[in-house]
Chains A and B, each alone.
Chain A
Amino acid sequence: MTLRKYRQADWEEPLIFELGREDRVGFDVPSLEPELIDAVADITEFVPSGMLRTKPAGLPEVSEIEVLRHFIHLSQMNYGVSSGIIYPLGSCTMKYNPVVNEVLAGHPKMTEVHPEQDESSVQGMLEFLYKLKSGFLEVTGMDDGTLQPAAGAHGEYTGILLIRAYHQNHGELDSRTEIIIPDSAHGTNPASAIMAGYKTVEVPSNEDGGVDLGALKSVVGPQTAGLMLTNPNTLGIFDENIAEIAAIIHEVGGLMYYDGANLNAVMGKCRPGDMGFDVVHVNLHKTFSTPHGGGGPGSGPVGVKALLADYLPVPDIVESDGIYSLSYDKPKTIGKVHGYHGNTNVMLKAYTYMLSLGGEGLKEASELAVLNSNYVAYKLKELRGLSLPFGEGKWRMHEAVLSAAEMEADTGVRALNVSKKLLDYGIHAPTTYFPLIVPEALMVEPTETEPIEALDEFIEAVKEISELAYSDPEEVMNAPKNTTIGKLDEAKAAHPKTICLSWRTYCTMAP
């Protein structure tokens, strides 16, 4: 296979503030009707003295075509799933974001609806939200849930607040102070637990990458509030001891939290609810195909077992005789985590995706995600300098974590360099240096939507990089060269004397 010669656009695009000229406008604001002007006179005269803006905001003055071109140029200096070749970014589930989802999400009866509208006027909205919730509860095997959390970490925070409310209601808020988290966990897990006021206790992984049961038993006790776990874990390995782990936690009165970041491996194959989890969040922007938008918006609904249902945020969407309504009848609720109902527009995309695949299709999606990941892992681990640590002989689930430790020792080429060199082939980098327990980690998640040709192109690129590392390591270490820009001065970006986070600051800095 010959790899393509990729060259990303570089428009040397000025900042928007450097474009345009005085008195140019990009949008024509609708004027007041003459009768209305007569009726209200000059509004600025009514603004309380001292509260009138005297100096217009320092915004650029740019025409419509200049704005359009500027941002289209910038888009061409960016890389997306639909515009790239493959986006094997581990833990992020960068699957195809179907176009039909976007089309439906643009329906005016989705976009132009206010969240405080009377229930009778938003029956369609409530219906799809109700059905989406039922769908994600079905996939996760939970009893009830909330759609409010706007992202995965927001879901984690909500889930931990639910655990906290449960212990509070059982008179154990002050005694149960610890959340147990494996050393392979996502960074959001400890951050969410700490935000909710807990101490975190880290447990090590065993040689299979699972939770070390001995270590777990040694840290649980009456102070345990719960355990946060993703299964399959961040190594892409299914923890076969999950039932025992749940039993250990439940025996001491703790609750089990499922980080749904890795749910894409197991839809229709096994369910967190059946594994013994009490609360789970799902990333609709991973598993249910909604786009990541350059960092968000996501959506992180939370599902719970019946024992936590009373504490869920309000309002709840309920149905009776085909009429949907919002219920605030939850005296023990944790309250609210979002100003309204969560990222509802994102949810419409997820609902569309769910129907596009159906129950059978979701299962097949998971199976193919796992097949794709094992196919890639199987071929990559054979390459010089790479290995597949932990879980010797075990199949991977939706993702696999390779190590470039040997390559680094042999040639000085690090996982970071491999990643940067991949960019030169027009391939997005895997996640690097995560999970922390794998040295020189390259975390690869191809997802089910990549055709075998894309997988092979990725594998071939890594192969060429591996060969290059051993023949001309400098060449790899100097990458990337075909992207809009090469390596950046990260130290300058972060140094207190040179940090620049806005145009305003930029203007004050010496050239």
Chain B
Amino acid sequence: MEKPHPYLPNSAPDVKEKMMDDIGIKSIDELYSDVPEELLYTGTLDIPGPYTEWEVRREVSGILEKNTSLLCPPFLGGGVWPHYVPVVVDEIIHRAEFLTSYTPYQPEITQGMLQVIFEYQSLLCELVGMEVGNASMYDWASALGEAARMTSRLTRKSTFLVPSIISPSRLAVLKSYAEPAGIKTVQVDYDKTTGLLDVEDLKENMDDDTAGVYIENPSYLGFIEENVEDIAEVAHDSKALFVVGVDPISLGLIKPPGEYGADLVIGEGQPLGNHMNYGGPLLGLFACKSDPKMIRQMPGRLIGLTEALDRPKRGFTMTLQTREQHIRRKKATSNICSNQALCAAAGAVYLSLMGPQGMKELSEVVASRARYAIRRINNLPGVRAPIFSSFHFKEFTVRFSGITVEEVNRGLLDRQLHGGKSLVNEFPDLDETALYCVTELHTKKDIDLLVSSLAEVLEG
């Protein structure tokens, strides 16, 4: 390049020359002498730049500005949700000491991050009612895949039962993880009135090969699964493990899975202080009971509390690394290396700020707003919300008649609002139905605006 680049301090000619002199070369190309000539790339990479800082800001912001501005957060959920991120969370995770550090393989100099992750594991356990949490998985979907594999390792069985009402993309990821391990995924039917898992159908699907039974609470379509104790019993009677996937925001109001027999709890930790970011990075939650056999089969990193060797002082370190790929290689419980540590740190800060009262209030506020929205939307002519009779937390189905979901959403977008996710392709049996989501970020005014806009769109 013509002039030294700010990221490349040794590109200044005199430094470069001194270094080349020191090691005895005349040209950088000598260092690439092992690359066979026919493999040397002689072209110039077709990538624009170099841009100065100001230019790159203008260019990249310019591209982002093409994303539509909405009057309020989208009424979308399903696995990523619009929730408020307190400013303290972003302040902390932007600290260079955290942001620009690697995995804490050198515990003496990274006690800070180790303690943060230990606290994250601990806070997660309090929220879901378990004793052991890992340091994070990539997202809910991959946590589900890893959970299925873990139940299979623990039980030496290879069928994994899941609800029929599940996010199709989460199901697809589950299959990507399960199928190569020889694990069969079977979907259990649901009650057409309540949406709840059909416990009779579950019983019929249980057999000697069932490794795990998985439910989600709230379910993908937003209602609370009530028959949890029955489901746990059915699973445990067959020596299968009971796995529950959660939206952590619901746990200020809803009973935690640890209190109804879950052996493994997974879920999506994004709403714990992480922005939506078009779906990544997310935070795969993963927790289990304090059972040595289970802990040994956990995927991913675990941070443990221990002591200094030279004095009585508490300290933290990565532990049970013999489960992990960098030690155990092909015998590892998972191949995961980089995880979502900084998202977990955000989760730790978030839960610390919220406290027990904050989580309770937030949960109640979210469910109340959703309930208000459900009532108002259900009053619109030709609209039914929700289609199932169960209690819904923050997501709910809205079924339209005489108009398609696509037409509704286009009408809303014209009014700078984003409607719910179309379920037309995912669940064709449900006709023209969409999955709406309301959180604390949707004020009464926002919900009223949605309702009046829907009314306009419906009137044509």
Contacts and interface: CB of A to CB of B under 8 A. Distances in A.
A17 B45 CA distance: 52
A27 B358 CA distance: 7
B263 interface: no
B161 interface: no
A359 B329 contact: no
A143 interface: no
A369 to B, nearest CB: 10
A358 B10 contact: no
B276 A364 contact: no
Nearest to A328: B425
Contact of B100 (A29, A81, A345, A448): A81
A32 interface: yes
B74 A371 contact: no
B447 to A, nearest CB: 8
B192 interface: no
A71 B108 contact: no
B285 interface: no
Nearest to A342: B280
Interface magnitude class on chain A: 35 or more
A138 B46 contact: yes
Contact of B364 (A44, A297, A346, A356): A44
Contacts of B303: 501
Interface in B48-88: 48-51, 53, 56-57, 59-61, 63-70, 73-74, 76, 78-80, 82, 84, 86, 88
A190 B140 contact: no
Contacts of B132: 501-502, 505
Interface string A150-181: 11111011000100100000000000000000
Contacts of A52: 253-255
Contact of B369 (A32, A103, A112): A32
Interface residues of B, number: 205
Contact of B280 (A68, A92, A346): A346
Contact of B339 (A96, A107, A124, A295): A295
Q: Which of A107, A154, A340, A429 has the most CB of B within 10 A?
A: A340
A494 B278 CA distance: 38
Interface stretch (A115-123, A302-310, A407-415, A468-476): A115-123
B170 interface: yes
Given A187-B325, A356-B49, A505-B131, A339 B170 contact: yes
A154 to B, nearest CB: 6
B277 A359 contact: no
A348 interface: yes
A449 B304 CA distance: 34
Contact of A87 (B59, B102, B126, B182): B102
Nearest to A115: B279
A117 B74 contact: yes
B345 A25 contact: no
A164 B5 CA distance: 43
Given A68-B88, A365-B7, A297 B329 contact: no
Contact of B306 (A39, A283, A337, A493): A493
A26 B353 contact: yes
A492 B304 CA distance: 9
A59 interface: yes
Interface string A18-41: 001001111101111101110110
Contacts of B365: 29-32
B181 interface: yes
B87 to A, nearest CB: 9
B413 interface: yes
A256 interface: no
Interface stretch (B36-44, B200-208, B450-458): B36-44
Nearest to A106: B90
Contacts of A25: 353-355, 357-358
Given A72-B92, A335-B175, A269 B330 contact: no
Contact of A153 (B31, B78, B99, B337): B337
A191 B335 CA distance: 5
Contacts of A56: 252, 356-357, 359-360
Contacts of A186: 326
B307 interface: yes
B125 to A, nearest CB: 5
B310 interface: yes
A413 to B, nearest CB: 17
Contacts of B330: 190-191, 193-194, 200
A23 B313 contact: no
B404 interface: no
A79 B64 contact: no
A114 B276 contact: yes
A269 B275 CA distance: 37
B401 interface: no
Given A268-B44, A292-B102, A359-B49, A27 B342 contact: no
Contacts of A334: 176
A20 B358 CA distance: 14
Q: Which of B51, B304, B326 has the most CB of A within 10 A?
A: B304
A502 B265 CA distance: 15
B122 A504 contact: yes
A206 interface: no
Interface in B286-344: 290, 292, 295, 301-311, 313, 315-317, 319-320, 324-332, 334-343
Nearest to B52: A356
Interface string A96-135: 1110101110110111111111101111110110000001
Contact of B308 (A67, A267, A419, A487): A487
A153 B369 contact: no
Contacts of A342: 279-280
A162 to B, nearest CB: 11
Given A267-B45, A269-B32, A295-B339, A338 B142 contact: yes
Contact of A100 (B19, B53, B123, B253): B53
Given A104-B60, A363-B45, A450 B9 contact: yes
Contacts of A490: 306, 317, 319
A295 B341 contact: yes
Contact of B180 (A73, A195, A360): A195
Contact of B32 (A87, A151, A161, A370): A370
Interface stretch (B22-30, B232-240, B380-388): B22-30
A174 B36 CA distance: 36
Contacts of B170: 339
Given A50-B255, A64-B88, A269-B40, A335 B122 contact: no
Given A59-B352, A110-B277, A240-B34, A298 B338 contact: yes
Interface stretch (A211-219, A247-255, A478-486): A478-486
B334 A75 contact: no
B427 interface: no
B116 interface: yes
A356 B7 CA distance: 9
A20 B354 CA distance: 12
Contact of B125 (A76, A493, A502): A502
Given A293-B342, A360-B50, A371 B31 contact: yes
Contacts of B1: 360-361, 364
B180 A294 contact: no
Interface string A61-84: 110100110111111111111110
Contacts of B198: none
29 contacts: A8-B109, A15-B118, A26-B88, A39-B372, A50-B255, A51-B391, A112-B276, A114-B278, A117-B76, A123-B66, A124-B63, A153-B336, A186-B326, A243-B36, A243-B39, A283-B338, A336-B176, A339-B79, A345-B280, A355-B50, A360-B1, A420-B108, A484-B108, A486-B310, A488-B306, A493-B317, A501-B302, A502-B121, A505-B132
Given A104-B64, A112-B82, A395-B33, 10 more contacts: A17-B122, A29-B365, A40-B368, A67-B349, A94-B100, A111-B277, A113-B278, A269-B41, A293-B341, A504-B125
